[in-house]
Structure 1
Amino acid sequence: MKQLLWFFGIATTVKLLLIPSYHSTDLEVHRHWLAITHSLPLSQWYYDETSEWTLDYPPFFAYFERFLSVFANLIDPRIVHLHHGLNYKANSAIYFQRISVIVSDLFLLYGVYISTRNLPSLKRNLVWVLVIWSPGLLIVDHLHFQYNGFLFGWLLLSISFLAQGKDLMGGFFFAVLLCFKHLFAVAAPVYFVYLLRHYCRGGLVRGFARLSAIGAVVVAVFAAAYGPFVYHGQIQQVIRRMFPFGRGLCHAYWAPNFWVFYIMLDKGIAFLLRKVGFNIPTPVASFTGGLVGDASPFAVLPRITPMATFIMVLLALSPCLFKTWRDPKPRLIARSVAYAYTCGFLFGWHVHEKASLHISIPLALVAVESLEDAKHYFLLSVVSCYSLFPLLYEAQEYPIKVLLLLLHTILMWFCFSALFPKNIATKGSLQDDKKSTQYESKGSSRTAAEEQRFELGWVAKSYLLGVVVVEIWGQFLHPYLLGDKLPFVPLMLISMYCAIGIMYSWIWQLKWIITFS
């Protein structure tokens, strides 16, 4: 525990140094939510339109903002002033909100501690490094500005309790998490199938009793969150705010997922058809701003609807659900949850690039279980962090994000190399009881001991080298050679190239789920 506090202390020092740095409009979003919850009665929280930054998170997060607003009002009453505080950027507001995120990360600290307390010391320390020093969390929470660390604390606690066989507690923490941020609901099918098959077993009577118990827990949590709004007849307004499907298929910066390829394929086909003489109209609807009437933002390919993305996510998730139904194993729950979030990230509606953290944080718990897990996580973590670079677009933050990624990459390399050193076979891997990890290298063969060495193959090395090439082009060569022409190309290249890495991660996880027994 003492070493974990050292890790957390170092991370906190870095976060404090980043306070004066760039912050996105999300800081004003959350400041306005402080004002809404402090200045208005609960019955008006989800109706307020004083600002464009309307409250669109579930009630528990609104209650959390109300709690923070008490302290904000003591520090500077204008922070929580609904009208005169619009776009308030005083240092008091910035410092209070930044520090509130840092303090809320104590819950992440507790979550990662509970999740790793039964691991050997070397593996435990490595997971602490991967989570507490995650550059993605630093970029999203402590530069861009959000409260993801606090939320991931709830997720890690839920996964930890399920892995320990404490299903009721695991279900409780996940239900609470959903009432803080509904975007975590992508993993709900995994939780439902797992709890139904693992917790509600033992015969008809016992199974029904346990189903009633877990159902009562979930209903109690949701009643505590949504009950006051049901009482005031506002539940439809709350749901409408939480699920604004009119926002469009993609976010303003295209998240590196499957829809990047779909969009580019549509544009490519339309371009070729126009070249050969077909009259292909230019779409009037936007990929990011929502559909305009019945118009489609696609020129050739079929329009994608929220229901289509929902079906695709379920189809992609189905192998994991079938595997969980057949054989619900507590030790596999972290993998299943991470896979669910990978499916949601790749095929979901209006996915934010920040959602890649939903994949990398749970997978940190299993990155230490085998050599192949470590190599997969190394690649995924680099890609996930790099895909967040466009969030910090100002020149003064460029050295910070590059330094964070470089330090994280070097640290991961040394940590994984220490965990899987040359000529030392690691015991206790998750797959050791099934088969030893074996692979071949062109023109050479390896002994079982040498196979435990942490070393990336030439394909992974080439792909990571490509990340460097994409960044050099977008940051240096494109402005020098093309100036202001085609300004969207660097962002498009980052989205497309990182999407390849995320697609690889999904295929790798899917293959693991299908083949593991």
Structure 2
Amino acid sequence: MILKKDCFWQLVGISTGLKILLIPANHSTDFEVHRNWLAITHSLPLNRWYFEDTSEWTLDYPPFFAYFEWLLSQVARFVDPRMLIVENLNYESKATLYFQRLSVTAMDLIYVLGVRSCLSALGVVKGSQQFFAGSLLLLLNVGLIFVDHIHFQYNGFMFGILLLSISALIRQRFLWSAFTFAVLLNFKHIFLYLAPPFGVYLLRFYCLEQANVKGGSFWRSLFKLLAVGLAPFVVSFGPFWNQLPQIMSRLFPFNRGLTHAYWAPNIWALYNTADKVAANVLKTASAGPSTTSGLVQQIDHSVLPTITPSMTFGLTIVFMLPILLKLFKSSKKQSPLMFLRAVVLCACSSFMFGWHVHEKAILMCLIPLSLLTLVNREDARYAYILGIAGYFSLFPLLFDIDLYVPRYSFYLSYMGFIAIPLYEHIISRLLGLHIRLPFMPLLLTSTYSALGVVYFFGRYYLYAMGVSWPKVAAPKATATYSSSAKRKRKTK
């Protein structure tokens, strides 16, 4: 089936219109976080940006994002200069609301370019059903709508940079890929978890390949790679060279505890649940804050051993290694698919075992996985499994009663799971459980979603590694990266 070739831009228009309609939606405290960062970068000299603490929402992103906030503030001063006063905590005029909301939508243009670039790099034929499905999945991604355009953040344009970097790598524009990924790290350091697949791929298919080419040199290639990769860090951190310890303490605050206020659906959500159940069975009370307190803080488990940051780091690295080794040994023909699978699994490893993981970090797995749905049906099946649990896990971010209709309508248009919402909004209130067990819906959401994510992680890892047990259906005849690219060339 061939669709109109301009369907991509039609979907861009639809998604933009939808985002504009969501401007009045209730938002999270992240709205105030970014207003405060606008004020800090506009009103204070650069050497005070990472020391300012009038608000509890201190600047804790890398310098490129701080520069980005400064640029936005140059426009914001013409909209409502009062939003740029550091002492104006929780300031929210209508002009401020529209400015910040529209700035997120405007920056999504980079995401649009990243999506289009990846579809092209993967050889997806314009006007095909595959092209329409990919555009629909990515441009109207329900997770990004939840997190950026209701909850409020600027993830879209950063995922756009990630997609541009991925597409450059698939096209074998290695130095450009390394440069754009380094730029991304200087916007948001959480993408550091995706660095290992990029590093392994560039080492194997750029540096080592060059060593086998007549006149090529491994060391020359490595030097060029390091030069373009480190240049953004020099530009980003250079003005702050004498403040690096302070910046690092902001970027990596290990005192925030194992889990976020509402548990991300990972192994630690199940661990917390098991500890809670064991404590109730054994009638053991925790001496410190409870895992169900809903606060961001250090906690000690009541029965199970307390987890430390070094444990989470070690587990993350251990679970990344097998897929990275598989990527290093993959053939050049299959390397783009293996690279994308390695990106997904490294992101999922950090999500599963990381320290103080946020629910929204699941998008680091889901968005690259959306690319794989376009080139292999088996990957698409796994993407659906993760999507059910992953997108549902974002519901605690949209807790206001006014957001119930958009969150359920968006989610049900994607997936269709309603058991826990029925308990939260009907059963618990009929039985009075919303008073006796107020944290139960969040616990159920985390536990249910964690079971889905853990199941996906185990099965998909085995599939990506080529392990046949437990049995996974063999991929059916689909458009692989190479065949899709060939078909695209034939149509020209």
The residue that corresponds to 2:255 in the other structure is 246
Q: Tell me if the contact between 2:372 and 2:379 (Cα under 8 Å) persists in the aligned partners.
A: yes
Q: Would the alpha carbon gap of residues 135 and 195 (structure 1) be closer, same or farther in structure 2, given more than 3 Å must change? A: same
| Matching residue within 143, 147, 160 for 2:154 | 147
Residue 478 (1) aligns with residue 428 (2): yes
Q: CA deviation at 1:311?
A: 0.5
Count of residue pairs brought into register by the alignment: 449
Q: CA deviation at 1:158?
A: 0.9
Q: CA deviation at 1:408?
A: 2.7
Q: Tell me if the contact between 1:247 and 1:289 (Cα under 8 Å) persists in the aligned partners.
A: yes
| Matching residue within 399, 402, 406 for 2:408 | 402
The residue that corresponds to 2:418 in the other structure is 468
Residue 105 (1) aligns with residue 108 (2): yes
The residue that corresponds to 2:339 in the other structure is 333
The residue that corresponds to 1:356 in the other structure is 362
Q: CA deviation at 1:382?
A: 2.6
User: How far does the alpha carbon of each residue in 1:417-471 deviate from its partner, in whole angstroms, 9 at most, with x for none?
Assistant: xxxxxxxxxxxxxxxxxxxxxxxxxxxxxxxxxxxxxxxxxxxxxxx7xx42222
Measured in 2, the distance between the counterparts of 1:248 and 1:222 equals 28
Residue 23 (1) aligns with residue 27 (2): yes
The residue that corresponds to 1:128 in the other structure is 135
The residue that corresponds to 1:414 in the other structure is none
1 or 2 for the larger relative contact order (CA 8 Å, sep ≥6)?
Answer: 2
Residue 389 (1) aligns with residue 395 (2): yes
Q: CA deviation at 1:242?
A: 0.5
Q: CA deviation at 1:22?
A: 0.6
Q: Tell me if the contact between 1:36 and 1:80 (Cα under 8 Å) persists in the aligned partners.
A: yes
Q: Tell me if the contact between 2:273 and 2:447 (Cα under 8 Å) persists in the aligned partners.
A: no
Residue 87 (1) aligns with residue 81 (2): no
What amino acid is aligned across from residue 14 of structure 1 in structure 2?
L
Measured in 1, the distance between the counterparts of 2:379 and 2:230 equals 37
Superposed, which structure 2 residues align to 1:127-276 within 5 Å?
Answer: 127-201=134-208, 202-203=210-211, 206-230=217-241, 233-274=242-283
The residue that corresponds to 1:495 in the other structure is 446
Q: Tell me if the contact between 1:385 and 1:405 (Cα under 8 Å) persists in the aligned partners.
A: yes
Measured in 2, the distance between the counterparts of 1:350 and 1:236 equals 21
Gaps of 5+ in 1: 275-279, 410-463
TM-score by length of 2: 0.88
Gaps of 5+ in 2: 469-492
Q: CA deviation at 1:508?
A: 2.4
The residue that corresponds to 2:487 in the other structure is none
Superposed, which structure 2 residues align to 1:309-324 within 5 Å?
Answer: 309-324=312-327
Q: Secondary structure at the match of 1:47?
A: coil
User: How far does the alpha carbon of each residue in 1:84-121 deviate from its partner, in whole angstroms, 9 at most, with x for none?
Assistant: x2211100000000000000000000000000023122
The residue that corresponds to 1:302 in the other structure is 305
Residue 75 (1) aligns with residue 79 (2): yes
Q: Secondary structure at the match of 2:449?
A: helix
TM-score by length of 1: 0.84
CA-atom RMSD in angstroms: 1.7
Q: CA deviation at 1:516?
A: 7.6
Measured in 1, the distance between the counterparts of 2:155 and 2:459 equals 26
Q: Tell me if the contact between 2:273 and 2:443 (Cα under 8 Å) persists in the aligned partners.
A: no
Measured in 1, the distance between the counterparts of 2:296 and 2:115 equals 37
Measured in 2, the distance between the counterparts of 1:20 and 1:147 equals 17
Q: Secondary structure at the match of 2:263?
A: coil
Q: Tell me if the contact between 2:393 and 2:449 (Cα under 8 Å) persists in the aligned partners.
A: yes
Measured in 1, the distance between the counterparts of 2:31 and 2:420 equals 30
Q: Tell me if the contact between 2:337 and 2:372 (Cα under 8 Å) persists in the aligned partners.
A: no
Q: CA deviation at 1:285?
A: 4.1
Q: CA deviation at 1:407?
A: 2.1
Q: CA deviation at 1:134?
A: 0.8
Measured in 2, the distance between the counterparts of 1:25 and 1:139 equals 14
Q: Tell me if the contact between 1:161 and 1:169 (Cα under 8 Å) persists in the aligned partners.
A: yes
Q: Tell me if the contact between 1:48 and 1:54 (Cα under 8 Å) persists in the aligned partners.
A: yes
